Chain A
Amino acid sequence: MESEPAVEILERYAGDRSAVIRALQDIQEEYNYLPKEALEMTAQRLDVPLTQVLRAATFYKQFSLEPRGKHCINVCMGTACHVRGGQLILERLQRELDVEPGGTTKDMQFSLDVVRCIGCCSIAPVIRIDDDTHGRLRQNRLPRLLRRYAEEER
């Protein structure tokens, strides 16, 4: 890991004890998760105890200690989505992908997560796949939508 981007990222925050979250955000963005070595390096470079780094890494929902799939699916569980059937959308995705929320498919294609409202309530129910938001969803549209992402860049 010595020569990897984490070194460069942490260089920017070296010695700044208040930068734990920002550093972890940059690392998560780069690696898609927080590798164990990177957490240790963060503690070292920012001069904070490892427990403090781990506390932040496990407190905030944005962070993952496991590698994430190629595509990240965030199912909105906001109130508007809930009353318009968001739960049924989530359950369908669980069945289609055979993973629980928080999990990643065996082929590392998809990670499934729930999110507490992405603020697109007017077109509920909504899911976000990577950077794309899909609104006014119907569960029967999901299989085709998933195929579209799975077939991307093959």
Chain B
Amino acid sequence: MTMRITSLEQLEAVGREGLQSLYPGRVRIAVGVGSCGLASGAGEVLTSTEEAVRVQGLDAVVRGTGCLGFCQQEPLVDVLVPGKGRTVYHEMTADRAEELVGVVAQGDAKADWALCRMVAEDWIIDGSQHPLASGEAAEPNGIPLYQDLPFFRKQCKIVLRNCGFIDPMSIEQYIARGGYRAVYKALTGMQPQQVIEQVAASGLRGRGGAGFPTARKWQACREAPGEVKYLVCNADEGDPGAYMDRSILEGDPHSVLEGMLIGAYAIGAHKGYLYVRAEYPLAVQTLEAAIDAAREHGLLGDDILGTGFHFDVELVRGAGAFVCGEETALLASIEGTVGEPRQRPPFPAHKGLWDQPTNINNVKSWANVPVVISRGAEWFAAMGTEQSKGTMVFSLVGKVTNTGLVEVPMGISLQELVYDIGGGILDDKEFKAVQTGGPSGGCIPQELIHLPVDYEQLTEAGSMMGSGGMVVMDEDTCMVDVARYFLTFTKDESCGKCTPCRDGTKHMLDILTRICDGEGREGDVELLEDVGKLTKEASLCGLGGTAPNPVLTTIRYFRDEYDAHVVDKKCPAGVCKALIQYSISAEKCTGCGVCDQQCPEQCISGQDKDPRVIDQDKCIQCGVCRDVCRYDAVIVQ
């Protein structure tokens, strides 16, 4: 039976219920069913596990969980045996899952499928540690410990504290791990102004990209005249290459709701909106369930936790427009019109939704808030750099060995991110650049690999923090093509309201396209710089104001690649089709014939074991031959 929580005792009672389901006193098998898990086959793994548990009569609980962050290794299956700890198995399949259940039923572990194990869990929200294994079971057994894996070692999970640790559909489990205590603390023991002061002292800055101090926004909105105030969670995570907000909403939706509750109390708002991208169906579903559960438990709605405070939220689905990540465009979209930005000031803190004072924060900013309140500003501010406190979540993707979501203290170097955590470049290729900040950011070259990552340093390097996308690029990535890629994006997504952005992005794209097509002219690079600077200066909103960044940084750091395209008509990375040719090395080719079977144009010839030859007149440079060749014999020049 669901109960409305009206006191701390009742909150703790629900927490105990959650604890019982988190650590059920029998085997617990959790399958990672976030979007990346599902895309890797977690759905079948879950079904097969359930089936095997039933058939083999194993006394076990099977459930879903969010993403642990190591998306590369999905599907992940996590087996908790009472007193023996948690073992995380990676790259699971339906067949393996079935076999694993048999092994677990025998009281064993399957060491060669194991990624790592946990003998204790840290609860960041209250700083406590919870042992999962005792005695001999806590001793080394050949499977590396979670905190010893290079991928996890340097991480500090504040925002991702519960992802992969709880069932996102269970509010009880969230409460069990200290959830909703921070909002209770704020509502019962702090004045709204004290909450803002704590957040100010913590140094928390907006995690959506621009890094504006969160408390200052809250203060402005609190002080703004107006009876009705609104709160918005910006979950329109539009930057390509970034998916941390999706993962949080899918893996720990209550952390965001709790953050919003605390913010609402501090600001004096009673209505909130969560604006979620259309492209994230699972996040929407999980969030809807979380909102329902919070309402049923009296954590949203009237008289929250018996304190008389009231606040409720509404979920709004985006309809596919990148510009809606910009706050004024997002507000327009919530109001039901097209998402076009408007001039600021007035800032939303004074005139936002339906002209009322409105405070907007990103998903990660909200998820940080409960921890700031619970652990205190001082604890939070001890992490990070002078001006950037706490942690940042990055999606470490692209040409890096270990891909996934990582949460690290601000100020960590790119080198540590790419090499220590990321395990270096895929296939031992040469590192070229890291792209941060999505279409608003830039590319940071090898020379700056020791750069400590925080808001200021990235901006100084010509890029920006953005929402945390970090795309690693190697020797096979063409930087001119990357610039063209981003401009294709921003030109399409420009809403068209102001001329500098609408025409500037188009003009830059036209120039980049002709450079990639081998028709670049002398002076094109300088022209790009001129148009870029102008677009940056004169655009109405952040979209146009940052759109030239990928162009300007690639010119700044990779001018030689532009010159190779314009002057020599060559694409050194072998990407731009008009400037390259595929051929087959007669020395390396074994004549296996896989490429000519796969070639869609049937333009590869050669008999038996003879080296293959590509007919250049017919070749469409689709690259499938290089994809399928196991001998590295296909050369691109």
Contact = CB atoms under 8 A, between A and B. Distances in A.
Given A79-B485, A85-B623, A119 B237 contact: yes
Contacts of B628: 138, 140
Interface string B439-455: 00000000000000000
A119 B243 contact: yes
Interface string B307-323: 00000000011111110
Contacts of A61: 319-321
Contacts of A88: 622-624
A116 B240 contact: yes
Interface string A61-99: 111000000000000011111111100100110010000
Contact of A21 (B333, B438, B473): B333
Contacts of B471: 79-80, 83, 121
A133 B35 contact: yes
Contacts of A77: 240, 489
A21 B281 CA distance: 17
Given A91-B622, A122-B71, A135-B36, A83 B399 contact: yes
Interface residues of B, number: 60
Given A20-B336, A121-B241, A122-B404, A83 B477 contact: yes
Contacts of A145: none
A59 B339 contact: yes
Contacts of A43: none
Given A19-B336, A55-B338, A122-B71, A25 B317 contact: yes
Interface stretch (A4-12, A103-111, A123-131): A123-131
Given A17-B336, A140-B627, A134 B241 contact: no
Query: A18, A61, A126, A134 — which one has the most chain B CB atoms within 10 A of its CB?
Result: A61
Interface residues of A, number: 48
A138 B626 CA distance: 11
Interface string B569-581: 0000000000000
Contacts of B232: none
Contacts of B398: 79-80, 83-84, 121, 124
Given A79-B435, A83-B482, A84-B399, A119 B319 contact: no
Contacts of A117: 238-243, 279
B407 interface: no
A52 interface: yes
Given A24-B319, A115-B279, A123 B435 contact: no
Contact of B279 (A19, A25, A63, A118): A118
26 contacts: A56-B338, A61-B321, A79-B240, A79-B469, A80-B241, A80-B403, A82-B482, A82-B485, A83-B482, A92-B600, A95-B622, A116-B279, A116-B493, A117-B243, A119-B242, A121-B469, A121-B471, A122-B397, A122-B405, A123-B74, A126-B39, A131-B281, A133-B38, A133-B39, A139-B622, A139-B623
Given A121-B398, A121-B469, A134-B39, 4 more contacts: A56-B337, A63-B320, A123-B39, A139-B623
Interface of B: 35-36, 38-40, 71-72, 74, 237-243, 246-247, 278-281, 316-322, 333, 335-339, 395, 397-399, 403-405, 435, 438, 469, 471, 473, 477, 482, 485-486, 489, 493, 495, 598, 600, 622-624, 627-628
